[in-house]
């Protein structure tokens, strides 16, 4: 069974905080072309940026293009829908060299020029204090009516270890055959008689391998 192939598809949707001009400039740097050459990709509709690549290459494209500000969808090539035709310049961009594309480390900030979010103003909280540990912080809690308890003066507690089950089911012990001739092997002893000899796996030549 052949390895499945995938298409990298763009629908003109951008990452939050990214504008079209910034995304086009980032994509142009990625594919080493001019932003104007990528205009067809941002004209709306479904556009295939790269087609018929394996899963690893598709993931590299997705990460790199999402870092540039695009929202990317990975589709199996066999399920690909009809694509709007691209101009010759856009087709050339889709064939750009991606050898320099790498996946950012986990936790890395991959958004260039993020939108600055101004901090929210906090009102005066100097009159707010923290309750002590265990304090009841509910104001006006609902009153719970205590349930009436019947007379339990005749109830007593059994002594520790007492059998509190009345009329337990009598269990007849199973009959054990004579085991006087059975002995226990010493710790570590091989208790398998006449074990089958295991074939030793051949050791391949590893003289040419190194950690470099």
pLDDT of residue 115: 63
Q: Which of 21-30, 73-82, 98-107 has the lowest mean pLDDT?
A: 98-107
CA distance linking residue 212 with residue 65, whole number of Å:
32
Give per-residue pLDDT as tens, 107-153. Answer: 555 555 566 667 777 787 778 778 888 787 777 778 888 788 788 77
**Per-residue tokens: 200:** 């030793």
How do residues 176-210 score in pLDDT, each as one tens digit?
888 778 887 788 777 777 777 766 656 555 555 54
Full DSSP string of 134-169: T----SSPPPPPPPP----TT--PPPTT----SSPP
pLDDT greater than 50 at residue 169: yes
This prediction has a pTM of: 0.39
Domain boundaries, the chain: 6-94
């Amino acid at each position: 069974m052949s390895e499945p192939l995938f298409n990298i598809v763009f629908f003109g949707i951008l990452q939050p905080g990214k504008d079209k001009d910034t995304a086009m400039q980032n994509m142009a740097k990625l594919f080493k072309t001019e932003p104007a050459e990528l205009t067809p990709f941002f004209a709306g509709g479904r556009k295939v940026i790269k087609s018929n690549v394996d899963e690893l290459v598709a993931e590299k494209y997705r990460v790199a293009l999402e870092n540039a500000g695009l929202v990317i969808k990975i589709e199996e090539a066999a399920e690909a829908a009809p694509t709007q035709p691209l101009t010759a310049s856009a087709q050339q961009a889709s064939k750009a060299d991606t050898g320099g594309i790498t996946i950012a480390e986990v936790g890395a900030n991959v958004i260039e020029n993020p939108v600055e979010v101004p901090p929210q103003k906090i009102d005066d909280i100097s009159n707010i204090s923290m309750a002590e540990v265990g304090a009841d912080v509910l104001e006006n809690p609902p009153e719970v009516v205590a349930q009436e308890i019947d007379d339990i003066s005749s109830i007593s507690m059994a002594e520790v270890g007492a059998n509190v089950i009345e009329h337990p089911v009598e269990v007849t012990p199973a009959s054990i055959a004579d085991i006087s001739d059975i002995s226990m092997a010493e710790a570590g002893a091989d208790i398998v008689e006449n074990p089958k000899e295991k074939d030793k796996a051949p050791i391949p030549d590893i003289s040419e391998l190194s950690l470099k």
